[in-house]
């Protein structure tokens, strides 16, 4: 329906495809419906993605400047990356918090966003749950907002979870052994005490000072649950049954993965023909953040070689990492490597893709299940461990024994077990049905357009 809303709507995205893509898909759906005066504020690197939205009323892009290198995971230096993907989950959690905490590190983007809000006077803001600047801007200009999250809902409501619930980023199951309960308590305690470290105290003081200078309510705005407490709506791209049972407010809507109309892109005819010609394909894609080593790349090639004769392997490997490959004439014939695919969603939707081998990111995990694909997961960092353990407990995936390495025998064992046991596919297809019934992007658009702020 054309003209469903004439009041400005402002999307605000953090750096990184993981949180930006969902917002882009929702903004595109609103434009498709004829919603007028849509804005999308993000780092300059997102400009091309937004400006190519050419459906309906379109979306106007507003630049918040260049990405803050210290904040964006894709631009962290190698030392910070190593700290994030290290064996200690506690230390990885600490690294992420230290590099993403507070408003002070993004002062320039904050003021750009504030000026934009003053100019366009949005009736509603929609922003991701890890955005450090959107909440204080919404407070400053008294703009109601919708919170967007690709993570498990417990990530948002950790302060309200029952006693003994697995702490986020631990990758612990709901039903823990005694040793796991001890580690969970240790992790939670250190996570709380971390904010007493001089580095964190300095960041807290800077954030408090920034909030005070803006004459904003410090107590409310700096509360750990501030974003969820004051949100008008919370959109979470998961479904219950994957997440463990927790109490949640009525304003939380579990809508599953947000998938655009498919095919998403004009397909690569050669790739489409290759998928059509191979009745059983293992798709390997490890997100935009993963930085594989030469040993890991060679081990994954060996995994493909050992699957030859039974399964083909499609591997999306960034061009900047392809120099780590063996010589091209030494690659197994069942392996196809692409530096880029027109649409990962189109690949996952193909009926010949039988298994998704991925890093456990929130989007990858839920998108794979949306298309009924069982998975093998090699968790990359923090929240990936949480998706991985819920995948195991939901019967849709297996996790490699040691994510710090690529053990050829272990990976082959996990892939073979998932492919040979129809229960994994059946459970994945069950959650495909649940996600589609949850509504996805259509539900997100309906909920936003039904906001009292737009009446």
Segment 9-43, tens digit of pLDDT: 999 998 777 789 999 999 999 999 999 999 999 99
> Do 125 and 74 fall within a single domain?
yes
Q: Identify whether residues 273 and 203 lie together within a single domain.
A: no
CATH number for position 371: 3.40.50.2000
pLDDT of 301 over the 90 cut: yes
**Is 3 within the bounds of a domain?**
no
* Per-residue pLDDT, 6: 67
* Co-location of 250 and 308 in the same domain: no
82 and 144 part of one domain? yes
Enclosing domain of residue 24: 9-256+439-454
Query: What gap in Å lies between CA 301 and CA 307, rounded to an integer?
Result: 10
Whole-angstrom Cα distance, residue 315 to residue 338?
A: 6
**CB hemisphere CA count around 102 (13 angstroms):** 20
Tell me how crowded residue 251 is: count the other CB atoms within 10 A of its CB. Answer: 14
If asked whether residues 58 and 184 sit together in one domain, one would say yes
CB-count exposure of residue 189 (10 Å: 0-12, 13-18, 19+) = exposed
pLDDT at 324: 96
Same domain, yes or no: 347 and 444: no
Is there a contact between 450 and 342 (Cβ–Cβ < 8 Å)? Answer: no
Q: What one-character DSSP code corresponds to residue 3?
A: T
- 67 and 111 assigned to the same domain: yes
The backbone region for 267, taken as left when phi is positive above 0, alpha when psi lies in -120 to 50, beta otherwise, is beta
List strands edge to edge, sheet with 60-63: 60-63, 38-42, 9-12, 124-128, 145-149, 233-236, 252-254
Provide the domain count of the chain: 2
Query: Checking phi first, is residue 309 left (phi over 0); if not, alpha (psi -120 to 50) or beta?
Result: left
Claim to verify: residue 206 and residue 343 sit in the same structural domain: no
Whether 105 is covered by a domain: the verdict is: yes
pLDDT digits (tens, 9 = 90+) for 214-272: 666 666 666 677 899 999 999 999 999 999 999 999 999 999 999 999 988 775 688 99
């Amino acid at each position: 329906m054309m003209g469903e809303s004439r009041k400005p709507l402002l999307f605000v995205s953090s750096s990184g495809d993981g949180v930006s893509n969902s917002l882009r898909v929702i903004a595109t759906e609103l434009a498709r419906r004829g919603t007028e005066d849509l804005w999308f504020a993000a780092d300059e690197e997102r400009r091309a993605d937004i400006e190519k939205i050419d459906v309906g009323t379109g979306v106007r892009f507003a630049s918040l400047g260049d990405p803050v290198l210290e904040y964006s995971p894709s631009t962290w230096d190698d030392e910070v990356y190593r700290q994030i993907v290290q064996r200690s989950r506690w230390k990885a959690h600490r690294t992420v918090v230290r590099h993403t905490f507070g408003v002070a590190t993004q002062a320039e983007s904050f003021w750009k966003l504030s000026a934009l809000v003053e100019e366009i006077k949005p009736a509603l803001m929609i922003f991701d749950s890890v955005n450090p600047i959107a909440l204080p801007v919404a407070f400053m200009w008294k703009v109601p907002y919708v919170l967007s999250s690709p993570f498990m809902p417990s990530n948002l409501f950790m302060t309200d979870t029952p006693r003994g619930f697995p702490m986020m980023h631990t990758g612990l199951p709901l039903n823990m052994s005694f040793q796991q309960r001890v580690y969970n308590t240790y992790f939670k305690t250190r996570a709380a005490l971390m904010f007493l470290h001089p580095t964190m105290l300095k960041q807290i003081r800077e954030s408090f000072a920034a909030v005070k200078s803006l004459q904003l309510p410090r107590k409310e705005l700096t509360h750990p649950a501030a974003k969820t407490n004051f949100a008008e709506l919370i959109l979470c791209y998961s479904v219950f049954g994957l997440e463990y049972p927790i109490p949640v407010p009525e304003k939380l809507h579990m809508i599953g993965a947000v998938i655009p109309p498919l095919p998403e892109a004009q397909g690569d005819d050669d790739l489409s023909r290759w998928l059509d010609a191979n009745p059983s394909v293992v798709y390997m894609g490890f997100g935009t953040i993963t930085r594989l080593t030469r040993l890991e790349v060679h081990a994954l090639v060996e995994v493909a070689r050992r699957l030859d004769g039974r399964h083909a392997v499609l591997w999306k490997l960034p061009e900047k990492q392809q120099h780590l490959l063996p010589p091209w004439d030494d690659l197994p014939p069942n392996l196809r490597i692409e530096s880029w695919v027109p649409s990962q969603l189109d690949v996952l939707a193909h009926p010949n893709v039988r298994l998704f081998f991925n890093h456990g990111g929130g989007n990858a995990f839920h998108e794979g299940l949306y298309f009924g694909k069982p998975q093998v997961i090699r968790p990359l960092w923090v929240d990936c461990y949480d998706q991985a353990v819920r995948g195991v407990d939901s019967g849709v995936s297996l996790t490699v024994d040691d994510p710090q390495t690529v053990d050829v025998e272990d990976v082959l064992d996990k892939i073979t077990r998932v492919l040979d046991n129809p229960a994994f596919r059946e459970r994945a297809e069950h959650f495909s049905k649940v996600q589609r019934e949850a509504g996805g992007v259509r539900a997100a658009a309906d909920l936003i357009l039904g906001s009292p702020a737009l009446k």
